[in-house]
Structure 1
Amino acid sequence: MLHSALTPRPLTKAALVISPRAGYLLAFAGALLVGAWGAKSGLLSLGLLLLGMTFVSLAFLVRFIALRHERMRVQFFRTIESFVENDSAPSFTTDADGQLTFRNNAARERFDNAEGDTLASVLGDLFASPAAVLSRLQNKAQVTGSAREDVVLRRGHMRLSVHQIGGGGFLWRL
C-alpha cells in the first residue's frame, strides 16, 4: 500500500493543479463581492455575495489541501531520511533530476570531499560513466519501483541500488 503523500487522491490532485492559481479564484471572488456591494437589487446582491464567498472558500480550501499534501510529503521524506541516517551503507536521496536532497552519515564520511550537488558528480571518481549507470537504474526504478546493478570499480565491485520514493524522489544505496 502506497503512502498518501505519494499517491494523492483525485481531490488532492485537483487541488495541486489549481493551487498555484488560487489567486485568480480570489480575484474573481473579489470582483463578485464588489458587484454584490454595488448591485441595486437585493436578490442580485445576495446571489453575487453568496457566489463570491463560495469562490473565497474554494480558494482557501484548495490552498489548504495543497499545503497539507506538501507537509505530508515532507514528513514522509524526513521519515525515510531518519530511517537510513545511521545505516552503514552510504545512502542518498535525490529528486528526479539527480539533485541530492539528503546524504546519510556513511555517505558524508565516505564522500566528504566529493564536490557537486548531483549524485553523478559525487560518484564521478568511483567508476566510469556514472551518469549513464544512474540514468539507466533510475529509468528502471520508475517502471518497476526499484533497480540494482553490480558496478565494476577500479578495485573490486559494488552493488548500487535505487528505490523510487514518490513521484519524483529516489533512495540510492551503495
Structure 2
Amino acid sequence: MPDTDAPVDHFDKLARNAVVKVFDAMAGESVTYLDYSCLLTGSKGDFLRRLPLEKGVYAIAVGFFGDVDGKVMLILPHAVAERITLDLYEAKSLDWIEGDSEETLLDTMGEIGNMLAGLVKGGLTHTYPKLMLKTPKVLTNKRLKVDNSKLSIRRQYLFEGFGTKLMIDFCLE
C-alpha cells in the first residue's frame, strides 16, 4: 500500500468541511456530520447500507491525479438530487424544466461533484501541489468499484441533511 505524507485527521476535516460548504452554497441546506468509517480497517463497515436506497441513488465520482491519485465520491438518494435540482432551477417539479429532466439532474449532480472535488483539491494542494481533477462521472443506482489494496486512505463520511442520510467516500492511493 502506498504511503501518504498527509495526516488522516486532515482528510477527515477536509471532507467534512467540503460537504457542508457545498450543500450550504449550492443547495442552501445545512447538513450535519454524523460519523466516519475507515474501509481499510473495516472499523464500521460500508455506510452505503445506511442510505435509503429504495428509490435509487446518484453517485458522483471525481478522480484526481498528480502528486497522488485518488477520488472522491458523493452518494445521494434520488430525492435529494431532485430537490437540489428543483431548488437551483426554482421549479415546482421536474416537469417544469424544459428539456430532458434526467439530463438536467445529471448535469446538476456533475456540478455538485465539481464543487466538492474543487474544495478537496484546494485542501490537498498544500501537501500535494501538482493535483489535477478528472471529469466527474455521475452514475445512477450504482457506484464505482474501488480496489482497497491500492489505497493508503479510504474513509466514508455519513451526513444528515434534506431529511435523509448522505455519504461521501474518499479514496487516496
Richer in helix (by share): 1
Aligning the two structures, in what range does the TM-score lie when normalised by the shorter sequence? under 0.3
Which protein is bigger by CA-based radius of gyration? 1
Which structure carries more relative contact order (alpha carbon 8 Å, separation 6+)? 2
TM superposition score normalised by structure 2:
0.27
Richer in strand (by share): 2
TM superposition score normalised by structure 1:
0.27
